[in-house]
Every structure is written in C-alpha cells, then in structure tokens.
Structure 1
C-alpha cells in the first residue's frame, strides 16, 4: 500500500518493509517498522514537521520524522491496527483496529499522542477510517459491511450498510470524504460497488456498480481528485474515473442523488 502527500510518496509491504521517496529530488529512505506485515502507511503534517505513520501487525503504530527518519513514537496497541487517519487540521488521529474499535488520539503541542476516546465500530475488524475536511466528523468501515459516522463530540450520526448480501463479499473497505466545500462521503464495498452519501443529511445515497451483474471486480482503493471533479476507483486491472457533476450536486432533490 502507499500514500502520496507533501511532495513525498510512502510505500509499505510485508515483513515490515517500508520506504519514503521525495518526488522532486529523488531522495529515498528504506526502513523496517517491525516483524509483522504492514497494514497501512500514511504521511501527515504536524505544525511544520512531516511525519510518516506505519501500522504493523505486531500491534504497534510507529511514527517517524521525514526526512531524518528518526523514530518519534511507538504506540503499543491491544490488537493490530489496520488504518490510521490524521485530521486535516493536524490535531487528531484515528486508528481502526482488528478488534472493531476506533481510537481517537489528540496530537498535542509537542507532537505526542494522547488517547481521547474509544468507540466500538463493530464486533468484526474495523478496516479503514477518514475525516471530513473540517476535522469535525469521521467515518469508520468494518468487515461486517457497515460504515459508522461520528462527530468529534462522540455522537453517532449514522450507520450505513453494504448493498452486498454475500457474507464473504460484504465488507466495507476504503472510505473518503470529499474536499471542501463539497459535502460527500464515498466508500467502497469488497467487490464491484461504490457508495456515495450526501453528508448534509446522510439520507441520500447513490450506488455505482463497476462490474457486470454476473461478475465481481475487487476494489483496491479510491480517492477524490484535489478539485473534487472526479472520484478515482482502483480495480484489479484498471483505474476508473467517475466524474462528479458539481453543479447538479448542489441542486439535486432530496429523494435522489445525481452525482456522475
């Protein structure tokens, strides 16, 4: 898996292997984050400092400073962490766990991580997490096919379910909010389907199927473009671009979404 931000690309794989590469200079550094498989790697900014955060199956979250690659913190967790997400304002971090919990950390002035709250997303593994652009709302996907959305005050705003009926295919996986001022939430199911939610009410949804009805296409990931004009979805053998109709999005009636 990988992440690109702030002029760097971070990559992580099996057996703790990881690398950070600076796109403008060609500089790169390889490092090992632990004995287990890496589940996630994310670049973030704390004040004027770039950090890379790695979740390893040894039940740790490790944080390094870029480009010195000095290890700043090791967070020892009760179970493996599948994904982390730093809030856009740089003050909070989410950690989605194999135990179905999501941990919310306050990133304090010195850059230390203090646990603020723990929420139960599922009795099955929590797989991914994301913040909205204002750092006030976050979403967590889980293996059981549900996505739960909370605000920063701990109020659950909604729970949404997968459209897939087969247990082995119903996991809700990648999740991302659109960038401001657009107010959308997209999440992928294990195969073939992407859901787009209106976050003004959480009551309107568009379901986009990317495979024929008699076939399954596994979804590797997705992201909104920086200008919100497109949603890119990575399949096993192709990259699909879904165009966002921004004008129609601002005007669609409450009973139906017209996004693409």
Structure 2
C-alpha cells in the first residue's frame, strides 16, 4: 500500500489519518481531535451547477496532502475529498472512475503559473487528473501507458513528474500533458517524487530501494543515487529551504540527507513499524513521521538543531 497519510501545515499542526478518521494533532497542546470521519457519508457543501461533486460513503483513504488551507485525500475506489482547513464540512468530493482497480495513489496540491490553486490526483487507471480549487472543475485528464503511482508538480507549476508501474519516470508539460523527457536509470516500479524548492532538482523513489536525483537541465542520467536499507522508497520530502531531503522506506527506516553535502551525509532514523507518512513543517524546523503499526502506532516529532546541523528526536 502506498502510504502518504500525514502532513504538517505548521510546526504545531499535523493532519493524519487514523482508520476512518482524519485527525488534527497539536504538538503545542499535545492534543488531537477528529476533523473528519469518512466512515460516515461524506456530503459536499459546495453545490455548483455542473459540478462533479457528489456524496460518498465509507471511504477508505489511501493518500492525502495538506497545503494552503486545503486538505485533499484520495480513496481506494478512485475517490477525491477536498476540505478547507478553516471551514466546516467537505467542500468537494467525487469518485472519478468506476474502474474496480482505481485506487488514488497520490494527491498533490500546487499553484499553476498564474497562481491558481490546483489539486492533482494519480490513479491506478493510468490517469492523472487536475482540478481547479476555485470551482473544483476538472481541468485536465491525462492518460499514460501504465498505472500512475505518483505525480508531483514543479515549484513553478509548469512541469509534472509522472511515475508508476514502469522503470522510466516521465516529465510532462503541466498544461498539455505532453511528455517532454523520460528519465531512465531505475530498475523497477517507482512510488515517490519530490522537487527541490529551487525547481532544478527532482528526487524519485523506486522499488529498487534507491532514490535517484535528477537535474532537469540535463536529464540524460541521474547525478546521484541514494540507497535505502531494505525496502522500496515510498515517500520523499524536501524541507522548504532545500537543506534536507527525507526518504522513507515502507517500514522501520527514514533517512534524512543533507543536500549541502552533495547528498553524501545522512542521518538514519531507525524505528519499528510501518511508516504511514513523513512531512517537514513549512518552516523546516520539524520532521513528523507517522507509524501505522497496530501495536506501536504513533506520531514521532524530530526537531532541527541548527548549531549541530542534525535532527534531534522528541518522542511522545
């Protein structure tokens, strides 16, 4: 299962899925509260003419993202749920396909070159769909040759990284969906991608237990390979200042790489249990790791210690 079920919107605000509940955790108050229960019918509050929005029932969440006052979550049956952080209820929800194998593998929230907020979903039905958050209209629907496990937009919103059940990773134009480059080097299927804030470096995570680093100015080959310990690289996150890259395996290991060392220096976080997601806080000061193990399920917080240039852990 693809696990991106945790997102930090500030150093003190973390959103994570627990069973059928979307929870908000305040690391300041050390207290959590339920924001949304998707075991119950999910009814959209925005009623717009011609909108794709319709009620859903008992959604099993497969992935999520939270950014710019918006939470977007995908489901195992091709569902998409969008909720504004500062408003009650669900703004938009839909099931985009009736395909039986249509799990929403990834969602991304980003700004288009014009500044409009977008939600992008990558699905097992070989398609990437882009929605405008202003009216939740589907702007684009791109089809590829294989199941799409991950799609992410570059910081300027002009390019998309498309990864899935293929050893190649694609770079596509965000407006047209036209493939402009194919990144070759991985040996198996890919599951994760992350763009450096400078928009030049792209990191991709693969079943071959490696993360490859690409310079979009020269994509003929990767300029770096970071190896995991045991499993596929399932999640990748850069800090907002670009100083660190976090890399998560399916269970037990999260690696924090110092980008200023040429991606050579790494701190390994060794824990126990399946990893439900990783997220840096927007100010780059904290790293949150979700552990989905039935017995040892927890949320871990790691705070940055600038004077020693490594991350110090705080468990709660």
For normalisation by structure 2, the TM-score amounts to: 0.72
Is there any run of 5+ residues in structure 2 with no aligned partner, and where?
1-62
Task: Specify the alignment match of 1:259 in structure 2.
Answer: 311
- d(CA) in 2 for partners of 1:218 and 1:72? 35
1:122-142 C-alpha deviation (Å, 9 max, x unpaired): 232100000011111010001
Alignment of 1:1-260 (within 5 A): 1-26=63-88, 28-34=91-97, 35=99, 36-46=102-112, 47-107=114-174, 111-153=175-217, 154=219, 155-164=221-230, 170-180=231-241, 182-200=242-260, 201-211=262-272, 217-236=273-292, 237-249=297-309, 258-260=310-312
Residue 307 of structure 2 aligns to a residue in which SS? helix
* Contact 2:302 2:311 (8 Å CA) reproduced: no
Following the alignment from structure 2 to structure 1, what is the Cα–Cα distance between the partners of residues 216 and 307?
30
Is the partner of 2:125 in helix, strand or coil? Answer: coil
CA distance in 2, matches of 1:6, 1:244: 23
Cα deviation, 1:222-245, whole Å, max 9, x if unaligned, reads 011111111101111211001111
* 2:38 counterpart residue number: none
| Other structure's SS at 2:178 match | strand
The higher relative CO (CA closer than 8 Å, separation ≥ 6) is in 2
Q: Which runs of 5 or more residues in structure 1 are unaligned?
A: 165-169, 212-216, 250-257
Count of residues in correspondence between the two structures:
238
Output the TM-score relative to the length of structure 1: 0.87
Mapped to 1, the partners of 2:311 and 2:83 lie a distance apart of 35
Contact 1:177–1:184 (CA under 8 A) maintained in structure 2: yes
Distance 1:149 1:80 in 2: 22
